[in-house]
């Protein structure tokens, strides 16, 4: 039952036992009463002794000294009882028990002074101030009466008790002020010290009246209560000790009041003493003693108050400085954290956490070459194919999740020594150190295959593709130049049809530089009047009568040779310059062709690019141009490639625009027919009026078998069945013209009839080929 009793239950049992022991000793007399009291004190102290022995080193040594002081005091009580037994009434002074008592004082003083170490010197000073105030009372009511009573040569050991009590009091107050009482177990031990001092004080007051010491019931009650509370400290679950000096030096209002009381203790004691001697003093002595005492007390209280207020002011300012210091420290910590976030954000992609372009370039510049390595590095730039379709279909939020998934998949491919970055948009880069060309290319193929595999993003499965540009670098290569070369290889992969790996070649740089020069020149070609429109006649076979002219763009930069159309037209297409240039060509050609239409009934054919057709206002622009130039809609033929009409979802708006133009009388011709999808079935459902057979299908050998002309014959027959006139391009000889006529082709154009030339040259061709209409 008792083994399972908790600390609270054992504490209750101990209180009951101590109460019983005290009552039993109070009701008895002589030796039995002292034995019962000592038995109660021994049982009450036992839990503390057991706790200190059991916990060992976990109890700080100062608190072990405090516990030893109570044990020594209990031993002194036992010795004193042994000395008192042969002497009824009171024991002789001094006795053997005095040595044990003095040792207990020494242990208590040493332990209490060491409780909070040297960090609480101000607390020791405060305690000394309070003890000094009480020392006056101790001198006047204990020590001085005792010396006066026993006279010179009395037992000096008796005087040591109030002095030791005063020192213990000062040490205990210092421990309390230092915060040692915040722990409940420590607080009980300090309470035991206080009860002991209270009992000792009463005992010393009695001892001052006689040469022998006698113990009263109140003394016994207080001493036994002291043993009880230290025993309760041993039963507490908290660890004894552990109190720190935090706040030990703070000057509070309560502490100032205590200092004031200590300062007034002396004057008050003098006044009380004087009141007790009223019958033996001359009336005039009151003014000489009490008035100075009162004034000294008031002065002391004012000084204490003033110094206390100064201390509190300094304390508040110190607290403010500490608070500012903490805020400054917190601000510095926050600033460092912010700087870290800013540095990380400045060098990393916020979406994927990968390195950004700046950090990637730094890693390329500092790339080491391992011992035994190739000495060369590789840069791979990866761009997702048709990633815009993902954003368009599912939104940019899902697109961001997809990019994060792509980054995760790329991280699984990259080695720890590689640097992976997101350069922007759906473009990533991988820098590999010490790798040969073959392995770099294989790594690019691995990346392409990994990104082509189905990818689960959220609750959807995404199918992507990737184009990869690879460039091989020497150590410490210029990152900007390397990235530019990799971008060229990537662009070549895109132009080649996407979903492929293309290594960088020097000719890509040469082609790009030429592209840059051409695009820069084209941007100013219209303003500088460098563009011209040449025309090539379309004639009837075999009469060679001109029925139409095809507008062809020519560019001759100022101070330079002409640039072939096959060089600058693709550049204009890629840069989007074809839109304003195409509008200029249409305007100029319609103005020139109006005369030929009016005089000869000849139509105008103008090539239209995909970029022009994709413009939302293209149909309106064509109609407005016809209205401005006066050329009838029936006199205009727009030439487009068949890929425009069958190129996927993007063809739908183009078909709408073409149908609108046809509704106004403008005819549509398929240029270079047969080189694109080559599906004749498209002609049954596309808005087409004329077929232009590509020069690659125009017969060149009149002696060839009929099978060699099968495709040309099929196109002509299909066009005839669909009422679509066909125009053969690239006729170079009279034999070709004759053969095409026999195959059923009515119209043709080529160098055999006329080369492309300016408008005045076309006028000459009209006079030469249409002599009946020359007048």
- Does 728 have pLDDT greater than 70? yes
Q: What is the pLDDT of residue 371?
A: 45
Q: What is the secondary structure of 726-740 as a DSSP string?
A: EEE----SHHHHHHH
Q: Is the pLDDT of residue 162 over 60?
A: yes
Tokens of 390: 């993902």
More confident residue, 302 or 714: 714
Per the listing, tokens 């062709």 go with 593
Tokens of 388: 């815009």
3-class DSSP state of 501: strand
Distance CA 112, CA 194 (A): 12
Q: H or E element: which one contains 104?
A: helix 97-114
Average pLDDT (731-755) is 90
By C-alpha distance, which of 289, 297, 233, 312 is closest to 265?
A: 297
Quick one: average pLDDT of 695-703?
71
Q: What is the pLDDT of residues 60-80, one digit of tens each?
A: 777 788 888 888 888 887 887
Arithmetic mean of pLDDT over the chain: 80
Between residues 757 and 52, the one the model is more confident about: 757
Higher pLDDT, 767 or 97: 767
CA distance 371 to 347: 29
Q: What mean pLDDT do residues 226-246 have?
A: 71
Query: What average pLDDT score do residues 453-472 get?
Result: 92
Bridge partners (DSSP) listed for residue 637: 605, 667
pLDDT at 4 over 80: no
Considering 204-208, 369-373, 541-545, 714-718, the range whose residues carry the highest mean pLDDT is 541-545
Average pLDDT for 323-338: 86
Per-residue pLDDT, 199: 76
- Name residues whose C-beta falls within 8 Å of residue 272's C-beta, 6 or more positions apart in sequence: none
- Do the Cβ atoms of 759 and 737 come closer than 8 Å? no
User: In angstroms, rounded to a whole number, what is the distance separating the alpha carbons of residues 465 and 384?
Assistant: 6
Q: 3-class DSSP state for residue 509?
A: helix
Note if the pTM is more than 0.85. Answer: no
Q: Is the pLDDT of residue 189 over 70?
A: yes
Q: For residue 29, count CB atoms less than 10 angstroms from its CB and return exposed for 0-12, middle for 13-18, buried for 19 or more.
A: exposed
pLDDT confidence band for 153 (50 / 70 / 90): very low
């Amino acid at each position: 039952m008792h083994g399972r009793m908790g600390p609270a239950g054992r504490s209750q049992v101990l209180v009951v036992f101590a109460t019983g022991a005290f009552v039993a000793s109070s009701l008895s007399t002589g030796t039995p009463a002292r034995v019962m009291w000592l038995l109660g004190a021994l049982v009450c102290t036992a839990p503390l002794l057991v706790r200190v022995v059991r916990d060992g080193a976990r109890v700080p040594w100062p608190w072990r000294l405090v516990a030893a002081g109570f044990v020594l005091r209990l031993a002194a009580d036992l010795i004193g009882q042994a000395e008192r037994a042969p002497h009824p009434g009171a024991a002789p002074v001094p006795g053997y028990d005095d040595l044990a008592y003095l040792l207990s004082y020494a242990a208590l003083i040493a332990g209490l002074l060491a409780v909070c170490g040297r960090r609480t010197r101000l607390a020791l000073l405060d305690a000394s101030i309070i003890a000094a105030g009480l020392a006056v009372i101790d001198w006047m009511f204990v020590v001085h009466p005792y010396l006066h009573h026993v006279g010179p040569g009395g037992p000096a050991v008796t005087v040591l008790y109030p002095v030791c009590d005063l020192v213990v009091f000062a040490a205990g107050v210092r421990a309390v002020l230092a915060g040692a009482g915040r722990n409940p177990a420590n607080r009980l031990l300090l309470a035991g010290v206080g009860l002991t001092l209270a009992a000792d004080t009463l005992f010393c007051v009695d001892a001052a009246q006689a040469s022998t010491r006698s113990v009263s019931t109140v003394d016994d009650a207080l001493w036994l209560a002291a043993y009880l509370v230290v025993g309760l400290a041993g039963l507490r679950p908290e660890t004894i000790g552990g109190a720190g000096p935090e706040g030990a030096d703070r000057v509070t209002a309560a502490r100032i009041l205590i200092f004031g009381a200590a300062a007034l203790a002396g004057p008050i004691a003098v006044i009380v003493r004087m009141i007790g001697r009223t019958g033996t003093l001359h009336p005039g002595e009151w003014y000489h003693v009490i008035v100075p005492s009162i004034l000294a007390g008031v002065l002391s209280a004012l000084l204490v108050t003033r110094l206390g207020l100064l201390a509190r002011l300094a304390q508040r300012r110190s607290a403010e400085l500490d608070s500012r210091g903490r805020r400054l420290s917190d601000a510095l910590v926050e600033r460092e954290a912010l700087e870290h976030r800013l540095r990380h954000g400045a060098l990393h992609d916020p979406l994927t956490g990968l390195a950004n372009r700046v950090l990637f370039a730094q890693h390329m510049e500092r790339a080491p070459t391992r011992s035994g390595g190739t000495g060369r590095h590789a840069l791979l730039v990866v761009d997702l194919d048709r990633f815009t379709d993902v954003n368009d279909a599912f939104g940019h939020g899902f697109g961001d999740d997809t990019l994060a998934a792509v980054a995760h998949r790329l991280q699984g491919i990259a080695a720890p020594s590689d640097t992976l970055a997101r350069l922007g948009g759906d473009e990533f880069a991988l820098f590999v150190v010490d790798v040969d060309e073959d392995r770099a290319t294989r790594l690019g193929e691995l990346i392409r295959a990994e990104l082509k595999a189905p990818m689960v993003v959220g609750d959807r499965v995404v199918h992507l593709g990737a184009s990869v540009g690879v460039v091989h670098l020497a150590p410490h290569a210029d990152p900007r130049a390397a990235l530019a070369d990799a971008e060229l290889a990537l662009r070549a992969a895109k132009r080649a049809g996407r979903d492929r790996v293309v290594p960088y070649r020097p000719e890509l740089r040469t082609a790009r530089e030429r592209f840059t020069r051409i695009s820069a020149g084209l941007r100013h070609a219209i303003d500088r009047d460098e563009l011209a429109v040449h025309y090539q006649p379309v004639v009837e076979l075999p009469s060679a009568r001109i029925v139409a002219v095809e507008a062809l763009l020519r560019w001759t930069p100022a101070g330079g040779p002409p640039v072939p159309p096959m060089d600058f037209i693709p550049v204009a297409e890629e840069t989007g310059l074809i839109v304003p240039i195409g509008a200029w060509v249409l305007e100029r050609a319609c103005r020139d062709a109006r005369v030929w239409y009016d005089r000869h009934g000849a139509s105008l054919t103008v090539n239209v690019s995909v970029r022009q057709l994709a413009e939302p206002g293209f149909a309106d622009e064509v109609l407005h141009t016809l209205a401005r130039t006066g050329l009838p809609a029936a006199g205009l033929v727009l030439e487009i490639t068949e890929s425009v009409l069958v190129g996927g979802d993007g063809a739908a708006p183009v078909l709408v625009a073409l149908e609108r133009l046809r509704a106004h009388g403008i005819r549509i011709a398929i240029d270079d027919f047969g080189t694109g999808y080559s599906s004749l079935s498209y002609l049954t459902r596309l808005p087409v009026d004329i077929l232009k057979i590509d020069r690659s299908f125009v017969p060149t050998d009149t002696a060839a078998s009929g099978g060699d002309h099968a495709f040309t014959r099929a196109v002509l027959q299909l066009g005839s069945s669909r009422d679509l006139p066909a125009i053969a391009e690239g006729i170079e000889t009279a034999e070709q013209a004759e053969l095409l006529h026999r195959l059923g082709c009515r119209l043709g154009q080529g160098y055999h009839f006329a080369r492309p030339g300016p408008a005045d040259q076309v006028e000459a061709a009209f006079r030469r080929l249409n002599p009946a209409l020359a007048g």
